[in-house]
A and B are shown apart, each in its own frame.
Chain A
């Protein structure tokens, strides 16, 4: 069916810190966690592939499958664009019963042709789904034929839902990029200070913050993979001098392959949290200098860090008194827990729990270090029931999490702040940390909490 070898390789990725910590035998087994029927949460591989590629803003993203795959999900992730809006449109072959009986390859080809003639995109990404994989539609062949005849790159993304989790889908998306996209265009403007950021999706448009910091240092972001990306920039990503990987579990394989193929060094870092932002900037500068950028870059970087850190702490100071002592439950897979923990602690807040569901071993170690070695505070997954009890018993004052768990907090009359992909605030970089602190303060100090927690007059005992 699908290329088993490819999936096996992704599961035993040598660049992955978790795998490095395993014995040879364990590593061979791969990292596929079996999903538990009736107790699973989270997206499928198709979902993951779409998340990783959809932020390429100027292409057509065409889903080859029945209506649920795209109809139930299009335009729901709040990733921003500074230009084209084409990526927000939902395209699907909407396979119905007759299509399934007769096979979907012809319909797919026609759909590609119609989408190209209407929107004239620089490329089309075609996503395989469970049903079309099951009936044996060969999307690779259709994409090849369409590319040849229509003169537009048509890229197959082979990540049908049933092959695994969202994370595997992220990785398979990376495979599609390395197999079909990256390295297919030679830009005429490659420079010594070009970098890529891998695993950054421009949620809430927060790359504006990162891009501005880099520009002040004279560093050019060739492209993020794939936040606010243009197809031609991704195709030229192989000319960058360094790669930063911000969501290491998702695209580390891509980073390793780019290193092997084009000699681009990479490091794992984060733009969430003050010290992590500074560390990331230093790492970028030193990598670029190693690869031929002028050494003065480091001086500029240090100057910027000193200035920005001081300014940020000054801006956060007024909130310290208001937030000190408040207890936070950090429940997220998206934003790196350890880098946020640090910032919260700096504000005098206590992190009573942090989930490490989607973290690597290295992430876990860092988070544990920042929590003072208290392993009880590192949680894998909390059941909604236990989470609800935590709030009811007043063991946490606020939860930072993604949208799906918000109602557990809200129904327990506890403040909640969205820090995942549906959020509308930019939390990256130095400015983002100030925003996060402001938003937490707004959530905690809202006057409704006192009102909604007060019992009804007839519930008060005489």
Chain B
């Protein structure tokens, strides 16, 4: 059991938190033919855009209502209308995700009410699904925004299916923002191994998985189609991954009657076992031999790998479900959590196997590591690099954003195979850095070297 402690500072130093509108934009990246639109000043979009471009190494469609001083005082309805019409004319998207920001929510804008009026008086917007999402920066973080956007998409598109349209071979998957395109690809493969069909919302593996289309597309390059989102009601079951997807799954159940199973994670032996039992039950089929073999390989990886985790200290910093996923894996392998830092509060974090979880920033992570007398490995996004350099601790890049390593989109974290490979990647870094009994950790000049060696091939 962990005690959840807020860092209690007025100043946030080296922020860990990412904004909710950014998370909402990412969710729309997994929708086909889509243009997300942030209702705020153009910087809101520019910062989010740069981060998404650098992480995914893809052109990212993301627009702004370009709020200025005057519209901030008088109201942004005209800006929204002009933006929608411009986007409709220039890029002809199927979906526009209209996302509010702290600026428009602070001035108390009735974005949804305005949108109704705008749609009523502009017939040229009739063919576009404009989906409003309220995700102000001042509440929650990346996972919050992602969850809100998925819920909004479900509310806007999902329909209950007639008894005839029900398909007992269909499974919905609601991935969290901590799932990579590679995870989604692998999950779909697993579902298909059982003779089932997967309907994923949102599906980043269709859009930002790093492929080269043969012509220019100004919107997202792929992802969940409007039709697939409508058909969510036809499935037998919904699989949601991560606590931040609970509200989305519940909303889908309420709207369509499709029951859901929420997995706190899909990384690790026990978690993967639960997934296979779930799929096997849903399909009415035994677990295929190929998957049993993968389980056996994971067990072997745990046997080979546990030597390198036992007694080692780990620091993990990120969004709540990211932290949950990695902290549980480390605990599964016998590692010790020296520092657990979350960007925002989430009740389930009390169940983490460590003394305390700090709600804070990278400065807090540094302080925790120092207090613990050092750490063997930091697992976090690229923004942890300053802390890792100054402490001389190796840095395993994971989560969002990771812009100084390649291949993040294809790293698989789920199922037996994903867990097996993660154990290998982590163990290799730990082998490279055997640790020296956690003496003083102030070694500022070893950093660049550490930094490089610490990078796993797939980092």
B445 to chain A, nearest CB (A): 13
Taking a contact as CB atoms under 8 Å apart, the answer to whether A37 and B79 are in contact is yes
B41 to chain A, nearest CB (A): 4
Taking a contact as CB atoms under 8 Å apart, the answer to whether A134 and B82 are in contact is no
B163 to chain A, nearest CB (A): 42
Nearest residue (CB) in A for B139 is: A97
Give the interface segment out of A62-70, A327-335, A427-435.
A62-70
Collect the chain A residues with CB atoms within 8 Å of residue B9's CB: 111, 114
Q: Does B37 sit within 8 A of A, measured CB to CB? A: yes
Which range holds the interface residue count of chain A? 35 or more
Give the interface segment out of A160-168, A245-253, A343-351, A352-360.
A160-168
Give the interface segment out of B102-110, B274-282, B368-376, B407-415.
B102-110
Taking a contact as CB atoms under 8 Å apart, the answer to whether B19 and A408 are in contact is no
Give A1-39 interface residues, CB cut-off 8 Å to B.
Answer: 1-2, 34-39
Collect the chain A residues with CB atoms within 8 Å of residue B66's CB: 35-38, 40
B126 to chain A, nearest CB (A): 17
Collect the chain B residues with CB atoms within 8 Å of residue A110's CB: 10-11
Collect the chain B residues with CB atoms within 8 Å of residue A388's CB: 216
Collect the chain B residues with CB atoms within 8 Å of residue A95's CB: 102, 138
Taking a contact as CB atoms under 8 Å apart, the answer to whether B68 and A96 are in contact is no
B446 to chain A, nearest CB (A): 16
Q: Which of A47, A68, A75, A76 lies in contact with B101, CB distance below 8 A?
A: A68
Alpha-carbon gap, A73 to B82, bound state (A): 27
Q: Does B286 sit within 8 A of A, measured CB to CB? A: no
Alpha-carbon gap, A424 to B6, bound state (A): 38
A92 to chain B, nearest CB (A): 5
Collect the chain B residues with CB atoms within 8 Å of residue A94's CB: 12, 15, 17
Q: Which of A1, A72, A108, A411 lies in contact with B18, CB distance below 8 A?
A: A72
Q: Does A209 sit within 8 A of B, measured CB to CB? A: no
Q: Does B294 sit within 8 A of A, measured CB to CB? A: no
Collect the chain B residues with CB atoms within 8 Å of residue A69's CB: 43, 47
Q: Does B63 sit within 8 A of A, measured CB to CB? A: yes
Taking a contact as CB atoms under 8 Å apart, the answer to whether A38 and B42 are in contact is no
Nearest residue (CB) in A for B90 is: A39
Alpha-carbon gap, A65 to B136, bound state (A): 12
Q: Check A91/B13 contact, CB under 8 A, given A35-B66, A37-B80, A38-B37.
A: yes
Taking a contact as CB atoms under 8 Å apart, the answer to whether A37 and B69 are in contact is no
Nearest residue (CB) in B for A48 is: B43
Alpha-carbon gap, A44 to B84, bound state (A): 20
Alpha-carbon gap, A39 to B35, bound state (A): 11
Collect the chain A residues with CB atoms within 8 Å of residue B107's CB: 134
Q: Does B383 sit within 8 A of A, measured CB to CB? A: yes
Taking a contact as CB atoms under 8 Å apart, the answer to whether A37 and B83 are in contact is yes
B336 to chain A, nearest CB (A): 28
What 9 additional pairs, Cβ within 8 angstroms, besides A68-B102, A92-B12, A114-B10?
A36-B66, A47-B46, A67-B17, A67-B141, A89-B14, A111-B11, A130-B102, A161-B41, A163-B69
Q: List chain B positions with a Cβ less than 8 A from chain A.
A: 9-19, 21-22, 37, 40-51, 53-54, 57-59, 63-69, 71-72, 79-80, 82-87, 90, 101-103, 106-107, 136-139, 141, 212-213, 216, 218, 383, 386
The 13 sampled A-B contact pairs (Cβ below 8 Å) are A37-B82, A37-B86, A38-B84, A47-B43, A71-B16, A72-B48, A93-B11, A99-B138, A100-B106, A110-B11, A111-B9, A161-B40, A161-B44
